[in-house]
Amino acid sequence: MNYPTLTHPTTLTQATTTGWHGSLQLEFARDPRGTHLTRSFVQAPLKVQRPFYPEGDEVCHLVTLHTAGGVVGGDRLSLDVTLHPQAHTLITTAAAGKVYRSNGQTAQQTVQIRVAESACLEWLPQETIVFDGAQYQQDVRIDLAENALWLGWELTRLGRTARGEQFLSGMWRSRTQVWQNDQPIWIDPQRVEGGSEMLTSLHGLAGCPVIGSFAVVGRSLSPEIVEKARSLWQPGTGAINRASSPLPTPHSPLPQIGVTRLTSGMLCRYRGHSTLEARRWFTQVWHLVRSELLNRPGCNPRVW
């Protein structure tokens, strides 16, 4: 099948003087053959790979990529995703995202998602590495119709800790809001300032460079599913990861997690030292939710 794609390349002059102004617009529809990408508009440096179907035609897997390798101050990225009724799509990224040290300007990413009635979007990007000195702001809005479902996670590492780098300056901001039937059902603003007390306070990040959130929003979940999600966490692995952390401190706690039942879903939080550890737990919870809500086993994207 041919998938229509409109490409408006950004010139090198524009990219180097005012930052990349990348755009990605995607639409998915369901027909008797399954879910298909029916419209794709891309503007560099954002691109998409050809859809693939490891689970059969009902679920469309799509991988997005940033061809410039990362964002810098002044970059503005816009993603717009629409799922029509009963469509089911899984979107991930080809590699970890990178936010480089700022030149004084803020890098911005805006994501607008619309999920129509009885449709489901699994939004599972790989982690984002925020360099020391980066200035980054992300705004995500998800609009759900009746009986629509959104499963999404966000994993962030503050500083290139593998190289001994800490997040001593800069700013990371992320705001996610989910609306259903024109009513807000979950709003999650987050802000971390480089070098602030919040990074080391026990009431903040407590020296943990990795934070993560995984939300399932759009349908009510039973208390039993919430308890199962908690039980999937294996705290014993945290001690190993902490001991091998490039920046261990005597006051750094073991990784911590939390699971909260929302009015229309569930929220999982992670605070620790390892994106691998966080994603391992998030993936297990994701498999659980898939089985319980979608009657479908887990199917990890091939790029992970």
Q: Confidence class of residue 238 from pLDDT cuts 50, 70 and 90?
A: very low
Q: Please tell me which residue, 237 or 3, carries the higher pLDDT value.
A: 237
187 pLDDT above the threshold of 80: yes
Over range 235-254, report the average pLDDT: 47
Least-confidence region, from 163-167, 230-234, 245-249 = 245-249
Q: How many CB atoms lie within 10 A of CB 246?
A: 13
Q: Is the model's pLDDT at 228 over the cut of 50?
A: yes
On average, the pLDDT of the chain sits at: 89
* pLDDT tens track for 64-102: 999 998 999 999 999 999 999 999 999 999 999 999 999
Buried (b) or exposed (e) across 187-201, using 16+ Cβ within 10 A?
eeeeebebebeebbe
pTM of the full structure: 0.88
CB-based burial of residue 181 (10 Å sphere; 0-12 exposed, 13-18 middle, 19+ buried)? exposed
Taking the C-alpha atoms of 39, 88, 281 and 210 in order, what is their torsion angle to the nearest 10 degrees? 30
Neighbours of 40 (CB within 10 A): 19
* Residue 7 in this model has a pLDDT that exceeds 50: no
Q: 236-243 vs 275-289: helix axis angle to the nearest 10?
A: 160
User: What is the percent of the chain where pLDDT is above 70?
Assistant: 88
Gap between the Cα atoms of 24 and 48, Å rounded:
8
Q: What is the predicted pLDDT for the residue at 73?
A: 93
Q: Which sequence spans correspond to the domains of the chain? A: 5-294
Segment 113-172, tens digit of pLDDT: 999 999 999 999 999 999 999 999 999 999 999 999 999 999 999 999 989 999 999 999
Strands (E) located in the chain: 5-7, 21-31, 34-43, 46-48, 60-66, 76-83, 88-93, 97-99, 107-115, 120-123, 128-130, 135-144, 149-158, 171-180, 183-193, 210-217, 256-262, 265-272
Confidence of residue 19 (pLDDT cuts 50, 70, 90): confident
Mean pLDDT confidence for 216-228 = 95
Q: Provide, rounded to the nearest whole percent, the portion of the chain with pLDDT above 90.
A: 82
Q: Over 80: is that where the pLDDT of 2 sits? A: no
